[in-house]
Structure 1
Amino acid sequence: MSTAKICCVAGAPCWVSLMARDLDVAKAFYGPLLGWEFEPGPSRWGPYERALVNGTEVAGIGAIARDWETSVSWTTYFGVESADATASDIRDRGGTVAVGPLDFDAGRLALVADSMGASFGIWEGEHGPARKLRMHGAPSWIELRTRDTFAAALFYGEVFHWDRRGPRYVVEWENDRVVLYVDGHSVAGIRGGGVEAAADPKVRPRWHVFFTVADVDEAVRLAKDLGGEVTGEPLDSAYGRVAGIRDPEGGLLSLVADHE
């Protein structure tokens, strides 16, 4: 049973959710790979499961409606103080709003895209302290691949008011990317290399989720046994050993070793 409530931190990532074609297929892959257990709901917009590690909610998996022409993918949600005001700011800065804002069980949310086409979510919910999930199976890093790193940083900085939030929020340039720190924790990065019209979804502008595992090489072997595909062989990086994975339905993610 879930023992921790999800709280939003304005301007920072607060939740990740997979839109899958088949919930059972997704659960059969992610459960063993990341050590997840599942609890159902909320199901206001269709079947949905929350993934838990040791009683802590770490992610969600929802089923794509049959008539939706969209690919299987992970969505990163950012906490906001007002979903409606933020949606308006996104439009004003060249982004788009695909769904919402809509009320749901834990607040108000919208699905949006930035000015270069990368999709993400905004969530107006209960606010609380920033949480950094230091556990295997939890998302530990969120990174945007985009065409123009600094234009993207300006877009998100203006939409989420990073420069107005005082010393809790620090934006720095390190390891060839823009990095956002909240309360001393690195929570998101923005880097170049995205191409809007690319045929390969790995190269299109998108927010990418990294999940912590104990052993990346062993997790890669397990992912392949479970029907996944390796999109990036294990290698050592500034943030630990990392590998890219595609799940059985096409969802892209990365695995990173716990190096702290």
Structure 2
Amino acid sequence: MAERTWRALAGTPCWVSLMARDLEMAQHFYGGLLGWEFRSARSDRLGPYVEAMAGGWTVAGIGSMAQSLGFPVAWTVFFAALDADAAAQAVRESGGTVAVGPLGFQDGRAALAADPAGAAFGIWQGEKTPGWRMRRSRGVPAWIELQTRDAFAAAVFYGEVFGWGSDPDDRGDVAWEHDRVVLRVDGHPVAGLCGGAVEAAPDPRIRTRWDVFFAVPDVDDAARRTVGLGGEVAVPPADTPYGRVAALRDGEGGLFRIADLRSPDDPDSAPRTTPLS
């Protein structure tokens, strides 16, 4: 299926990217687990970079700059901005920090920042393909969620930076539901902010952070295959009101989550759009 360019609604998640050390190791792990294929992408000053493909759609990026920049191996969620420089300034004014940029990257501008509680995120000004938001199939990001201590304080910060709840076309809204703050676009949930999640995490290495949930057909099978691919299971598969989920680490320690696309009551049901936690 041919891709088309798409400009995300300002302030909403538009891309996920892994900052790895060993690009070949990352491709082997995620390709084996999520069925991704890869293509080289121009990265200008930031070193080798590939884009991951799932079902013909571009769904994520992987770069091998973690070691050179001194950053930990981690997934980063990027939020769309009409003006990356203005968004970065809003981060500073609202109590967050800007670690890198904004600077030119591919055909846009990007920055890496952190909220007042220390959760890292990215800012992106430009166009991205819509695969990870438009299709819910194997290997596609199905949901992002902030694991933090105070969801309401976090919502105030991100609302100030990205203008959540002030969309003039009323396409985006923020509400409290399912014990979390939920950001919706066109009526569909795209992100959640979960308070108290850090203290409750079984893995003490799970800190305040944005988590990416990748869709898989079978969470238990994916968790078993993770170990054989060199990764580890951080939080074992468990049933939730929204399906079966697990937290995993890749071979370099990068944390991410997986979610079963099938309804717990109907294994043949279509993928759902309800939030996952």
2 CA distance for matches of 1:65 and 1:211? 22
For 1:152-171, what aligned pairs fall within 5 Å after superposition?
Answer: 152-165=154-167, 166-171=169-174
1:230 maps to: 233
Q: Which secondary structure state, in structure 1, belongs to the residue aligned with residue 116 of structure 2?
A: coil
1 CA distance for matches of 2:129 and 2:63? 25
Structure 1 unaligned spans of 5+: none
2 CA distance for matches of 1:65 and 1:139? 22
2 CA distance for matches of 1:185 and 1:27? 31
2 CA distance for matches of 1:38 and 1:64? 17
Q: Which secondary structure state, in structure 1, belongs to the residue aligned with residue 174 of structure 2?
A: strand
1:133 maps to: 135
Answer yes or no: is the 8 Å Cα contact 1:132–1:185 preserved in 2. no
2:39 maps to: 39
2 CA distance for matches of 1:51 and 1:2? 15
Answer yes or no: is the 8 Å Cα contact 1:49–1:61 preserved in 2. yes
Structure 2 unaligned spans of 5+: 263-271, 273-277
172-181 or 126-135, larger mean C-alpha shift: 126-135
2 CA distance for matches of 1:249 and 1:122? 24
- Matching of residue 256 in structure 1 with residue 259 in structure 2: yes
2 CA distance for matches of 1:38 and 1:7? 23
CA offset at residue 3 of structure 1?
A: 3.3
Q: Percent identity?
A: 55
Q: Which secondary structure state, in structure 2, belongs to the residue aligned with residue 30 of structure 1?
A: helix
2:10 maps to: 10
For 1:1-260, what aligned pairs fall within 5 Å after superposition?
Answer: 3-5=3-5, 7-44=7-44, 45-64=46-65, 66-126=67-127, 131-165=133-167, 166-193=169-196, 194=198, 200-202=204-206, 204-259=207-262, 260=272
Answer yes or no: is the 8 Å Cα contact 1:2–1:57 preserved in 2. no
Coordinate RMSD, CA, aligned: 2.0
1 CA distance for matches of 2:130 and 2:230? 37
Q: Which secondary structure state, in structure 2, belongs to the residue aligned with residue 94 of structure 1?
A: coil
Answer yes or no: is the 8 Å Cα contact 2:5–2:128 preserved in 1. no
CA offset at residue 129 of structure 1?
A: 8.0
2 CA distance for matches of 1:115 and 1:59? 26
Answer yes or no: is the 8 Å Cα contact 2:66–2:73 preserved in 1. no
2 CA distance for matches of 1:127 and 1:230? 31
Note closer, same or farther for the CA distance 1:128–1:256 as it changes in structure 2 (3 Å cut): closer
2 CA distance for matches of 1:69 and 1:11? 28
Q: Which secondary structure state, in structure 2, belongs to the residue aligned with residue 201 of structure 1?
A: coil
How does the TM-score come out when normalised to structure 2?
Answer: 0.87
CA offset at residue 43 of structure 1?
A: 2.4
Alignment: residue pair count: 256
**Which amino acid in the other structure matches residue 205 of structure 2?**
P
2 CA distance for matches of 1:237 and 1:184? 22
2 CA distance for matches of 1:67 and 1:128? 28
Q: Which secondary structure state, in structure 1, belongs to the residue aligned with residue 134 of structure 2?
A: coil
**Which amino acid in the other structure matches residue 143 of structure 1?**
E
CA offset at residue 55 of structure 1?
A: 1.6
1 CA distance for matches of 2:6 and 2:21? 25
Answer yes or no: is the 8 Å Cα contact 1:175–1:238 preserved in 2. no
CA offset at residue 192 of structure 1?
A: 1.6
Q: Which secondary structure state, in structure 1, belongs to the residue aligned with residue 127 of structure 2?
A: coil
2 CA distance for matches of 1:18 and 1:126? 18
